[in-house]
Amino acid sequence: MLQAVTREIFPAWYGTSWEFHGATRIPRTGNIACGYFVSTVLEDAGFRVERVRMAQQRAEYIVKTLVPPRRVWRFRNRPVREVVERVTKEGEGLYLVGLDYHVGFLWNDGTRVQMCHSSYLGTVEVVCEDALTSPAMVSGYHVVGRLLEDGMLEAWLEGRALPTFTG
C-alpha cells in the first residue's frame, strides 16, 4: 500500500495546480486544494472516505478521522526540525500532518522525510519536497499521525468506510 501511494499515486498528481477551492479528481487537470489532495489520494488508494466532507474539515479533524487518538502527536510553537525528528524516529512510513492552515502527507522513506502536498506557497502545485525546508511546514501548530496502521488497513481490507470526524 505504501509503495502504491508514494510511487504511483503521488507522482500522478505532481504538477497539478493548487487553488483554494480546487477539487479535481483527475491528476494534472484542473486545480486541487490541500484537503482535497489528501482525501483524493486516500480514495485513489482504495479507502472509503467521504472525499468532499473530509477535504473541507480543519486539518486536525482530518488527522483524527484516520489516526487513533493515542497515536496522534501535537507540537505547539516548536521548530519544524522537532516534527521531522519525531517522524524520522518513528520509522519508514506515511504520516499525515495538519498545520495552522494546511494539511499534507509526510513520507519517511528511510533516508529523508518529505512533505507531499498541494502547495499554496512557492510552486503552487502538488509536490513532494524536503519537509525540513518546505515553507508550508512553517506553522505554530503541527498535529501528526501515522497512516496505514492496523485499524486503517483493516477498514481497507474489509471495505469499511472511514467516517469523517467532525468534532
User: Which domains, ranges and CATH numbers included, belong to the chain?
Assistant: 2-160 (3.90.1720)
DSSP codes joined into one string, 37-80: HHHHHHHHTT-EE-HHHHHTS-HHHHHHHHS-GGGEEEEES--H
User: pLDDT tens per residue, the chain (167 residues)?
Assistant: 999 999 999 999 999 999 999 999 999 999 999 999 999 999 999 999 999 999 999 999 999 999 999 999 999 999 999 999 999 999 999 999 999 999 999 999 999 999 999 999 988 999 999 999 999 999 999 999 999 998 999 999 999 999 999 98
Global pTM value: 0.97
Candidates 147, 149, 134, 67; CA nearest to 102 is 134
3-state secondary structure 117-129: EECCCCCCEEEEE
Residues constituting the chain: 167
Give the bridge partners for 130, in sequence order.
114
